[in-house]
Structure formats: structure tokens, C-alpha cells
Amino acid sequence: MKIDKMNKKILNILQRNGRMTYKEVAKKIDRAQSTVRDRIGIMEEDGVIKGYTVVINKKKAGLDCYAINQCKVDPGRLDEVTRKLLRIDNILQVYHTSGDHNLTFMLATCDYDEMKRILSEKVAPLGISDMEIKIIMESVREMAYTDIM
Amino acid sequence: MKIDKMNKKILNILQRNGRMTYKEVAKKIDRAQSTVRDRIGIMEEDGVIKGYTVVINKKKAGLDCYAINQCKVDPGRLDEVTRKLLRIDNILQVYHTSGDHNLTFMLATCDYDEMKRILSEKVAPLGISDMEIKIIMESVREMAYTDIM
Amino acid sequence: MKIDKMNKKILNILQRNGRMTYKEVAKKIDRAQSTVRDRIGIMEEDGVIKGYTVVINKKKAGLDCYAINQCKVDPGRLDEVTRKLLRIDNILQVYHTSGDHNLTFMLATCDYDEMKRILSEKVAPLGISDMEIKIIMESVREMAYTDIM
Amino acid sequence: MKIDKMNKKILNILQRNGRMTYKEVAKKIDRAQSTVRDRIGIMEEDGVIKGYTVVINKKKAGLDCYAINQCKVDPGRLDEVTRKLLRIDNILQVYHTSGDHNLTFMLATCDYDEMKRILSEKVAPLGISDMEIKIIMESVREMAYTDIM
Amino acid sequence: MKIDKMNKKILNILQRNGRMTYKEVAKKIDRAQSTVRDRIGIMEEDGVIKGYTVVINKKKAGLDCYAINQCKVDPGRLDEVTRKLLRIDNILQVYHTSGDHNLTFMLATCDYDEMKRILSEKVAPLGISDMEIKIIMESVREMAYTDIM
Amino acid sequence: MKIDKMNKKILNILQRNGRMTYKEVAKKIDRAQSTVRDRIGIMEEDGVIKGYTVVINKKKAGLDCYAINQCKVDPGRLDEVTRKLLRIDNILQVYHTSGDHNLTFMLATCDYDEMKRILSEKVAPLGISDMEIKIIMESVREMAYTDIM
Amino acid sequence: MKIDKMNKKILNILQRNGRMTYKEVAKKIDRAQSTVRDRIGIMEEDGVIKGYTVVINKKKAGLDCYAINQCKVDPGRLDEVTRKLLRIDNILQVYHTSGDHNLTFMLATCDYDEMKRILSEKVAPLGISDMEIKIIMESVREMAYTDIM
Amino acid sequence: MKIDKMNKKILNILQRNGRMTYKEVAKKIDRAQSTVRDRIGIMEEDGVIKGYTVVINKKKAGLDCYAINQCKVDPGRLDEVTRKLLRIDNILQVYHTSGDHNLTFMLATCDYDEMKRILSEKVAPLGISDMEIKIIMESVREMAYTDIM
């Protein structure tokens, strides 16, 4: 799919404020509201836009324990393990990565006990041979955007 | 701040669709639209809600090179380095973590060359003594939400 | 439980000298002996105070081999392994931690032979897949306290 | 110093209850109270007994962030760094160990912010080149004793 | 086999240009063409020369994903695993090495998906217990030669 | 650049035998010799083809010590260090990679002494802070090709 | 056993020259030859002296491949694995160590092929889960002695 | 130098008993005593034989603390550091190795204090940036020999 200049502008605006109305976006880029609506609709259909979300301050929302978990999974079972992992509550972003750990995921829970319970009862049985938990001591920025150029 | 049951419901809805109107949210939780608007307003003011964003499929948007970078920074300079890091384009989420690398950040660029250029010209001079780049080979889930209970 | 100012003072005193009598503590904080006794009794019941112990110089007491052991345990079996570990003599403090080793424990024995025997005959059969032994070459401070403020 | 059978018995009793009176200890090992008092006095003088302390449940006492820190220090400056480290509040046990990190210490603070502040403002400036923080997610046992035989 | 001065010269020339004709090589080293042909023929027979190849710019040829993979294989099965590995398409150079990973191989594919598919469906089932993937972000030099002296 | 089917066939043939004449290649793919010559010429100009080389059995050619070296270089100086590295004899392939070592290069020498001398006198002074040498105990396959499809 | 001053002198002499006759040693320390003979005999019986050996330059004796191998063995099977390891030719010194590898041994062979064959056919089947081979590129000192004081 | 069959026999005998007289060796291999003496003399001159030593049980000789130290040294200063290291008492065998630590040495001292003192006062100032100490918990075999074939 072709991401032209107008689409880039739209994406960059929505990254900063995902709730902006078509009208507001249209005004910002000096186009017709219908054009903006169409463009966004097409990007949603094409999967360029995956969705819209609120970015929450996890600590303030009572999620005191927040971690990055890096796992080793048998490459032959990586897709299967990932599918099951996605169904577990509290699992947030999930990535396949280079390096000696091939699976990285974010996890947020109320406290350590809940985190331990989820890892032991739900994640471990999926067949994860090695798991390195990095506690996020401060989430400096979660509202992330990158200028698409 | 107290996150009561209604606020939790609102947050869980907005996590899944950050563009839902006050009216739609109100209907979903069977409350008045003004109540929803007030609640959301207060959560925005209190910093429980940090913002709203569009979740983009990076590959489809032309950001072919996407990575998790784990760095060691002198703890005495961690806050200063982080402040400067946040000003660099292409740097997405930023975390302070436990473990032997105390700073983790996400980075998305058009290609390897741009990534190398940013790391060498902008990130390295900040005073980062050790940097481990993990290329995200597949971003399985980026649209993340966790049920706040 | 609420740890008020007086309880904090009492705890800070007892951390430095766990054998101090109620009377001595009372005098130090200028309260009635009965108040101190009650306060301590409540903190013991509530589990704020876990117990009192003598801090021994392990080398002088004939425990020549003292180590920190960091283990990897299948998260699904962590609680079970920990319960069994606690029953083994010579095992001292036990912690669940972040990082790639999820179980850390202290161990003191008369000599290397006894340490090896305990690790091979008692600890290893519990199902510990990876064990990193760090010999404590000097225990600089074991009598530890932190000012509760 | 000679740790004979009676001293061993006394130490094992005091490890389990550091507040037991001379009279109670004497009764338990069927000796005169004066003998127990003398024995304990000598062990205190000889440094076999370093002190007595209350063992506190850190979480319940408001110390929510508890960690094991493993550091690399230039061996030529290890003693100097250690001396300074011992003066920092919140630093608990301190050990010199084998392995690639030669200095291990325990640290308890109210929250992550305080931990970060102490590490960046007080620990880092001492000259610690590499620091791996392991968050204690659960302190399974802190009241530790080992039977001296 | 003896690699004399003339053979060394021939090898050094062919390393830089593997398509050079016997005649051109002969002229360069000031010998008869038949001598060069004989020398090369003998080195081919003796296995000093393993073959001739074109060095391709992988990115330009559509192989966008290029990696160095370091694996741990049970030493008792190393030769068997290696034999099977050599039959997999996309596997390039293969080495047995010192260090904690005993098998290193290069791998080039069109994209991450193909790389993941090959690793999961073809490489992992061979019995590789640990695999560290290093993505080649830039292949600075592939046309390699070393002056044989 | 477009790598069409014919070019792919030509590349796959030349990977297996880099000395094959235009005529032989032409016959194999059933095209005119002039077409093959043109195609190859264009791929050479466009940099798809970087060159042609003889693949030598290093041990048989007297290069007894062959290693993969993985280095950490300050990202801000990576290009400069690489440029200088390329000028050193005995340095073969050079790659920039993901992971905690950002520079990997191959090195072949007559013996350990020569390798040590090159690393200490020529490579180390370039500003390489960490170097992990993996000795190649067996070079199972160096004549590498991958079918371009 | 008591190592008195005279025994120390004898040991220090024999470490430097293990073939020195009783007479020569006696002269050096100004004692009767019979005293020296008796002292040495007792130290041999008591196991202070384990034996005498020639120190060979391995390279010059045709042992071109010399390595330090660090292994992880299930602690419950460490003694059994060690007993079997000691029976394998080419295995030299054997140590149980602290750290994440609990078994370290030296190995010298004619070439890499023999080393690989021994590791795969003889060492691996003993049940060694992880093996890190460090090639000794230069054995700077093998004739080792330490002054016993 | 040529190590023929007879020399190999002699070396294998002397490895097992370095104090055996020429006469005894001669008898064992059924040759004249003068032949043995000559052969040994030549091997000593040629450096095949580096010396003869007594193998001591370090623990029984009062050397309670015995360790393998693995260090990282700037490759450009490796020879200089090694030369100085060799002059330090208590340093035993010294090796240059592959892997991420390029210098390995053995060290035996009376106790941990002496080891720490040597490392901090004598070894560290030589310019060693990273040092991993592995305590030898049991020296299973130090009297090492390998059959030269």
C-alpha cells in the first residue's frame, strides 16, 4: 500500500491525539472532512491502522507491577506458544525478536503475587524454557509516536 | 486517586477503542453521557489517562526496521540521558528497568541505515556505555490492553 | 496495618539491638513501658515483626563456606520447590527475584564438601535446572537495618 | 576461638529467638543462668556474636521496593568503595563475592523512585562500573538460622 | 601439501578475481599459461581450492534478511546435526567454533517471515537447544581475501 | 534494481561455479551468449555482483588459525573503526550486527602468535572496547550459495 | 598435618625442581640427607605431596590443540560424572568450581578433530548439559609454583 | 623438533613420575641408561621439557583459597600485563585464551583476605578491566598427564 504525504500527515496527527475528530484533522491539514474520513477508512481496511487506544498511567490505574519478559521458546513451537500467550489476560505487547531470547512480552499486574501467579500458572505451562523478567521501575514514556516521513 | 468500578469500565472500553464517543461509552455502561464525559475529564486531569493514540502497523507504514534497545547508563546520569533521549525522533517507548541494563527503549526507522545513523549520531553521544539491539522480527501485538480489575 | 511514628521508632531501636528490654526501649522513646509492650505485641501479631535473632559471625562459628546461590526454576513449580528448599538445613534466606534466575538463597556450611553434598543430594533433586554459586569471600555486613521513615 | 557444644546450643537457641532471657536459655540447656550469661558475654566479646536484631516484614513496614544489587568494582578500590557504601541509609547486607560481580548488597526503599534516587545520587558516584539490580518479588524467608554442629 | 611461492601468488590473484583466465594469471606472475593451469588443477584436486563463486550483494538480490546464528548442539550429535543442516536451502557458511555456542551458521532469506519459517520448520527440529540470532544490519565486506604468505 | 528470473538463474549458476564461461552459462539456461554477457555486465555495474573469488581451504593453505571475532564499538565511531579495520591484512568478512556486539569480523592467520599480534597491534588500537574471539575449529562449509527465488 | 618451616622450604625447592636429589635438597637447606628423605616420605604418605611430574611444552610435543572446558553438570550427578571423566585420555586437570559452570577441565589433543571426537564421543555422553570451550592460544606458564609461607 | 617413539615413551613415564632416575626409565623402556640421559638432555635443551615439579595438595599445604581468574585485558597491552603478572607471588599457571576473557590465571593463597589483597594491590593496578573469579571448591586432579602418541 502506498502511504502518500497526506496519509502520513493524518497518521502523525492521530498518533498524538487518537480522539481528534475528522473535522479537526481536516482543518489541521486543510482538506475536506470527507477526504480525511475516506483516507482513514482505507488505512483501517488495509491494516495500516490497527486501532485506537487510550494510554493509561499504569501505576495510577492500580497496576503496580509492570515488566518486560524475555523468553526462549523452541523455534519450532514459537507460533503456537505465541497464539496461546495472546489469550492470557495481563499480557500486553508481544514481539518476536533477534538475540538469544526469541519472544518478548509486556505484562502488567496489580502486584508481584499476581504476576508470579500468571507466570507460573498460565505462561510457564505453554513451554517456555527460559524467562528473564525485567521489572519496569519507571515507565518514562508510553505514549509513543514516530514521525512517518 | 480512586479508580472505582465505573472508571475501570470506561478505561477498559477506551483501551479497545480509543475513538469511541462519550455517547457510545455511556450507552455501553448504561450511564448518562455527561457522567462519562466528567469521569474521563477527571482521569485526564489526574494523569490516569495520558492520551489517546492510533496504533499503526509499522511495516505497512514504511517503518521496516523496528527494535528494542537495552542500554547501560551510569545511574548517576540516568535522568539526564533519558531527558535527552526523549527529544530524539524515532525513539518510541522508554523504560527504566531492573537487570544489568537499566534503560530500554523502542526505536522504529525506515531501514537499517537510518537506525545506525540515529544510534551513532544521536543516541551514542548521550553517554551510553553498552547497547544491545534486539531487532523485532515480528510485532505480534502492539494494540495492547489489560483489564483493570 | 498502620506503622505510625512511635512504631517506627521502636522498630529502628530493635533493629540495632533486638535484645533491648521493653523498659529500655520505653525510656529511649519516652513512653510508658506498657505502651511499648503493647505496640510490640501488636506488631508481632500483625506480622510486621517476624522474629528476633542473633547475628553470628559465620567464619568464627565454624561456618567456613558461605554462598549466594542463584537458580532457575520452572515458574510453574517455583512455589513447590521453595517449600521443599525451606526444609533443608543450612539454607538461610530465600528470595524470589526478577532477572533470569528466579530463585536466590543463602547457604552456609562448614566446608566445601558439605556444601557440595547438600547441593547435590538435597537441592539438585528438587528440580533446579541452573545454579550459579557465588562464594561470599567476605561478609562485610550482616547485621542489617534500615531506618523506617 | 573454640565453639564448644554448649556454645553451639546457645547460638542455635538465640538464632531462633534472639530475645530469649538468660534464664530461659539456661533452662532449655539445663545449665546455670550465670554460665549462660558468661558464655554469651564471651561470645559477644570475641565477635562470634555480632549483635541481635528484629526481623521485619519489609512490605508490611512500608518498604515496598527491595532488591539485591550486584556490582563490579575495580578490585583496587573495593575496600574504599565498601566503606563508603556502608554509610548510605537503606543499604542492608553487604558481601564481597566470587564471580564477575565482586560486590553484592541488599537495598530496601519505600518505592522505585527512592531506590533510583539512592542509586543515582549516592551509590553510582562511589565508582561502580556495572550494576545489576534484581528486584525481590517475594522475600520467602528472612529470619534465617543454620544449625551450628 | 606444499604451498610454494608461485601457488601463493596464484591464490592471492584468484581471491581478488576468481574469473581471471589462466592466460591473465600467467601474465601477471610471468609464467607459462600451462604452468598456471597445472598448478591450479593440482590445487583443485588437493582440495586447497574448494571452488569459485560469485559474491552477491544480498540486499540488492532481494535477500533482505541476513543473519549469523549461533547455536548450542549436544557435542555428541554435532556432526549429525551439521550434515542435516547443510541440506537446508538458505543456509550459507557453517562453522564449528569454540565458546559456549559450538555451531555458527549464516542464513539469508527474503524476509523475516521466511527466516522464522526456516528456523522453526527446518532448523529447530534437528535438535538445537539454544539459538542466538544476530541480524546483519550491514554486510560491510563479503568479498574477502587474505594474503597467503 | 529488478532481479528477474533469468538473472536469478545466472546468479545461482555462478554461485556454484564462479569461473563458468558466458558460453557455458548461456548453454545451461538456453540463451544467447551475448545475452548472458550483457546481463552479467549490468549486474556487475549495478553492484548486485560484487566480484568473483576462489574459495580456499584455509588449513590446507597454511592458515591454521581462523576465527570469528565479535566486538563492541562505540556506535558513534562504528563507521570510522570499520573503515580502518578494512585496511588490515588478514581481516576477511566484516559485518555490523544486532545484539550486544555490534561488529563481527572473520580473521585468518598462520598461527596463534600472528593472530595475537594483529589483534594487539592493529585491531585493538582502533578503539574496540570488548572483543570475543571464537576459534573456528572446523570450517564445515565456506563455499556458500543460496538459491535466489 | 603440620607444615613446619623445614617442610615448606623443601616443598618450595621441589616445586622449582622436582628432580633434585635428597642430597642436593639437604645441602640447600643445610640439614642431614636422612632428615630430608624422612620429611619427604612423610609428606608423600600424608598426601601433602601428590606426586612429581615433568612439565612439557605441549605444542613442541605435538599437542597442538589445548583447551579449558567449562561445563554445567547436574549437581546431583557431579561426582559420578567426574569419576568417569577422569578415565578419559587427554583430560588433564579437573576442578569443581563456583559460578554458573560447576566443572572445569583441561584437555590437550593433537588437533581440533581429535578434540571434537573426544568431546562428542566420550565427554558428551557423560551427561554434560552445557560446555564452553576456551582454546588456549598461548600457554604462558605451566610450570607453576607458589611460595608456601 | 621430532618427537619419536622413544621420546614419547620417556615423556609419558616422566609425566607419571617426574623423579624416576635415568636408570629406572631405561629399564622400563629397555634401553641403555646413557641413551635415556641423552634423550632427556636434548628435550630439555629444545624446550620440549620445561622442568620438573612436585604436585602439592594445596589444601593440605595450607593454601585454603584456590581460584581460576578470567580477565579481560586490552589486547594491545596483553603481553605487557602478562609479563608483570608473572612476577606476582601466588600466581600459578597463566594462559591466553579465546572467548570474551583473553587472560586466565590460577591463584592460590592462604585465605580469602590474602586473595583479595593480591587482587586489589597487585593484579588490579596492572590494567585489568574485568575479572571473574571462580573459586575451586575441589581440585579433583592436579597431577595431570596426557599420553603423547
B78 shares contact with chain D (CB less than 8 Å) = yes
| Per-residue pLDDT at E3 | 83
**Least confidently predicted of B142-146, C57-61, E44-48:** B142-146
- Burial class (CB within 10 angstroms; exposed 0-12, middle 13-18, buried 19+) of G4: exposed
Cell readout for H44 is 630439555
Q: What percent of chain G has pLDDT over 70?
A: 98
Choose the mutation target among D80, D100, D130 for the interface with H, i.e. most H CBs under 10 Å: D100
Q: What is the mean pLDDT of chain E?
A: 92
E125 shares contact with chain G (CB less than 8 Å) = no
Instruction: Read off the pLDDT of each residue in G118-123 and give the average, rounded to a whole number.
Output: 94
Q: Can you tell me the distance from the alpha carbon of D48 to that of D59, in angstroms, rounded to the nearest whole number?
A: 30
| pLDDT > 60? residue C1 | no
Confidence tier at D146 by pLDDT (50, 70, 90): confident
> Which residues of chain B neighbour D120 with C-beta distances below 8 Å?
75-79
Q: Which residues of B81-94 are buried (b: 16+ CB within 10 A; e: fewer)?
A: bbeebeeeebbbbb
| Per-residue pLDDT at A144 | 75
Q: Can you tell me the distance from the alpha carbon of H22 to that of E74, in angstroms, rounded to the nearest whole number?
A: 46
For chain C, helix (H) and strand (E) counts, in that order, are 5, 5
A137 shares contact with chain D (CB less than 8 Å) = yes
| Per-residue pLDDT at E26 | 97
Cell readout for C116 is 557440595
Instruction: Read off the pLDDT of each residue in F91-111 and give the average, rounded to a whole number.
Output: 95
Decide if E82 and F140 are in contact by the 8 Å CB cutoff.
Answer: yes
> Which residues are CB-neighbours of B42 under 8 A, at least 6 positions away?
none
Q: What φ, ψ does residue H54 adopt, rounded to 5°?
A: -90, 140
> Which residues are CB-neighbours of C51 under 8 A, at least 6 positions away?
D16, D17, D18, D54, D55, D143
> Which residues of chain B neighbour C99 with C-beta distances below 8 Å?
98-99
Cβ atoms < 10 Å from Cβ of C129: 14
Residue from the list G116, G137, G138 with its beta carbon closest to the beta carbon of F137:
G116
Asked if H17 contacts H52 with a C-beta cutoff of 8 angstroms, the reply is no
| Per-residue pLDDT at B109 | 94
Q: What is the DSSP letter of A76?
A: G
B116 shares contact with chain E (CB less than 8 Å) = yes
Confidence tier at C137 by pLDDT (50, 70, 90): very high
Q: Can you tell me the distance from the alpha carbon of H122 to that of F135, in angstroms, rounded to the nearest whole number?
A: 31
Instruction: Read off the pLDDT of each residue in B92-111 and give the average, rounded to a whole number.
Output: 95
Q: Which is it for strands E103-109 and E91-97: parallel, antiparallel or unpaired?
A: antiparallel
Instruction: Read off the pLDDT of each residue in A59-75 and give the average, rounded to a whole number.
Output: 93
Q: Can you tell me the distance from the alpha carbon of H61 to that of E131, in angstroms, rounded to the nearest whole number?
A: 45
| pLDDT > 80? residue C147 | no
E127 shares contact with chain G (CB less than 8 Å) = no
Residue from the list C11, C91, C142 with its beta carbon closest to the beta carbon of D56:
C11
- Alpha-helix residue ranges (DSSP H) falling in chain C: 5-16, 22-29, 33-45, 78-85, 112-118
Q: What percent of chain D has pLDDT over 70?
A: 98
Contacts 24+ apart (CB under 8 A), D75-83: D75/D102, D75/H116, D75/H119, D75/H120, D75/H123, D75/H124, D75/H131, D76/H120, D76/H121, D76/H124, D76/H125, D77/D127, D77/H120, D78/D102, D78/D103, D78/H116, D78/H120, D79/H120, D81/D126, D81/D127, D81/D128, D82/C140
| pLDDT > 90? residue C136 | yes
Which is higher by pLDDT, H36 or C143?
H36
At C148, which helix (H) or strand (E)? none
| Per-residue pLDDT at D117 | 93
Cβ atoms < 10 Å from Cβ of G32: 10
- The count of residues in chain E is 149
Please, which residues bridge with residue G91 across strands?
G107
| Per-residue pLDDT at G29 | 95
| pLDDT > 60? residue C73 | yes
Q: Can you tell me the distance from the alpha carbon of G18 to that of G22, in angstroms, rounded to the nearest whole number?
A: 11
Q: What φ, ψ does residue A67 adopt, rounded to 5°?
A: -145, 155
Decide if F54 and E135 are in contact by the 8 Å CB cutoff.
Answer: no
Per-residue pLDDT tens, chain H, 149 aa: give them: 568 999 999 999 999 999 999 999 999 999 999 999 999 999 999 999 999 999 999 989 989 999 999 999 999 999 999 999 999 989 999 999 999 999 999 999 999 999 999 999 999 999 887 899 999 999 999 887 777 76
**What does the pLDDT look like over F34-48, one tens digit per residue?**
999 999 999 999 999
Confidence tier at A22 by pLDDT (50, 70, 90): very high
Residue from the list E19, E91, E97 with its beta carbon closest to the beta carbon of F136:
E97
| Per-residue pLDDT at H1 | 52
Cβ atoms < 10 Å from Cβ of C38: 12
Q: Can you tell me the distance from the alpha carbon of H122 to that of H109, in angstroms, rounded to the nearest whole number?
A: 14
Q: Do chains E and D touch (3 or more CB pairs under 8 A)?
A: no
HEC per residue, chain D: CCCCHHHHHHHHHHHHCCCCCHHHHHHHHCCCHHHHHHHHHHHHHHCCEEEEEEEECCCCCCCCEEEEEEEECCHHHHHHHHHHHCCCCCEEEEEEECECCCEEEEEEECCHHHHHHHHHHHHHHHCCCEEEEEEEEEEEECCCCCCCC
**Residue of chain D with shortest Cα separation from C146:** D90
| Per-residue pLDDT at B147 | 74
| pLDDT > 80? residue C144 | no
Decide if A67 and C98 are in contact by the 8 Å CB cutoff.
Answer: yes
Please indicate, yes or no, whether the overall pTM of this predicted structure exceeds 0.90. yes
At E32, which helix (H) or strand (E)? none
Number of CB pairs, chain C paired with chain H, less than 8 A apart: 15
G75 shares contact with chain C (CB less than 8 Å) = yes
Q: Can you tell me the distance from the alpha carbon of H78 to that of F120, in angstroms, rounded to the nearest whole number?
A: 7
> Which residues of chain B neighbour C104 with C-beta distances below 8 Å?
none
Amino acid symbol at G102: N
Per-residue pLDDT tens, chain E, 149 aa: give them: 568 999 999 999 999 999 999 999 999 999 999 999 999 999 999 999 999 999 999 989 889 999 999 999 999 999 999 999 999 989 999 999 999 999 999 999 999 999 999 999 999 999 887 899 999 999 999 887 777 76
Which has the closest alpha carbon to E86: E96, E72, E98? E96
Amino acid symbol at F83: R
